[in-house]
């Protein structure tokens, strides 16, 4: 019975993860990075070898521009080249360590792409430190903690997030729902 319950919880977690696969990945990072690269929205702008090549070329031309590296990382992620995505995001972090989106996206590479929640954890924690009002940081951190089997810590994380994310944030109710579902 315990094994069945654990299996059901894991299936629920996987379903939740599949619904929010790119949580935070499609956001506009222009403001966060202060770059001049036109930011894309929606995964279709990143999909395919041609789009990946375009973003990589832009990143090579603007190798000191965190925004260009983030865009290349998003395209690599969407095209399931997780090692390449991690490399681009790490380069972007080196240039702009206070960019909440790049920390969150690097966490997504490990958590969702490589199925390595343990490695993702510090990137999500960093996102919540960089911008305590950033919903996706709290949500992803709690999901990661839950997958790692630490339900109590995930509950505490959601409680913390609900204190810091403004109630006016359109995503705030998502934290409340996640918290209620973790009881």
Average pLDDT of the chain is: 84
Concatenated DSSP letters of 93-133: HHH-TT-HHHHHHHHHIIIIIS--HHHHHHHHHHHHHH-TT
pLDDT band at 2 (very low <50, low <70, confident <90, very high): very low
Distance between CA atoms of 178 and 111, rounded to whole angstroms?
18
Looking at the predicted structure, is the pLDDT value of residue 38 above 50? Answer: no
Residues 33-43, mean pLDDT to the nearest whole number: 51
Which tokens belong to 87?
Answer: 């490399």
Residue-wise pLDDT for 121-166, tens only, equals: 999 999 999 999 999 999 999 999 999 999 999 999 999 999 999 9
- Buried/exposed 117-133: b ≥16 CB within 10 Å, e otherwise: beebbebbbbbbebbee
Nearest to 65 by CA among 39, 22, 90, 96: 96
pLDDT in tens, 166-182: 999 999 999 999 999 98
pLDDT band at 42 (very low <50, low <70, confident <90, very high): confident
Count of CB atoms situated within 10 Å of the CB of 96: 22
């Amino acid at each position: 019975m315990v094994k069945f319950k654990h299996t059901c919880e894991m299936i629920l977690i996987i379903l939740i993860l599949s619904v929010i696969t790119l949580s935070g990945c499609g956001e506009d990072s222009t403001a966060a990075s202060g770059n001049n690269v036109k930011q894309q929205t929606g995964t279709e702008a990143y999909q395919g070898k041609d789009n990946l090549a375009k973003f990589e070329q832009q990143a090579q031309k603007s190798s000191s521009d965190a925004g260009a590296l983030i865009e290349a990382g998003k395209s690599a992620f969407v095209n399931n080249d997780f090692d390449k995505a991690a490399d681009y995001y790490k380069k972007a972090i080196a240039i702009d360590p206070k960019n909440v989106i790049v920390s969150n996206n690097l966490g997504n590479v490990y958590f969702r792409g490589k199925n390595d929640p343990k490695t993702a954890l510090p990137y999500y924690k960093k996102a919540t430190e960089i911008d305590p009002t950033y919903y996706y940081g709290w949500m992803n951190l709690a999901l990661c903690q839950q997958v790692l089997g630490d339900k109590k810590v995930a509950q505490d994380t959601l409680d913390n997030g609900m204190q810091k994310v403004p109630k006016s944030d359109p995503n705030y109710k998502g934290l409340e729902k996640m918290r209620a579902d973790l009881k």
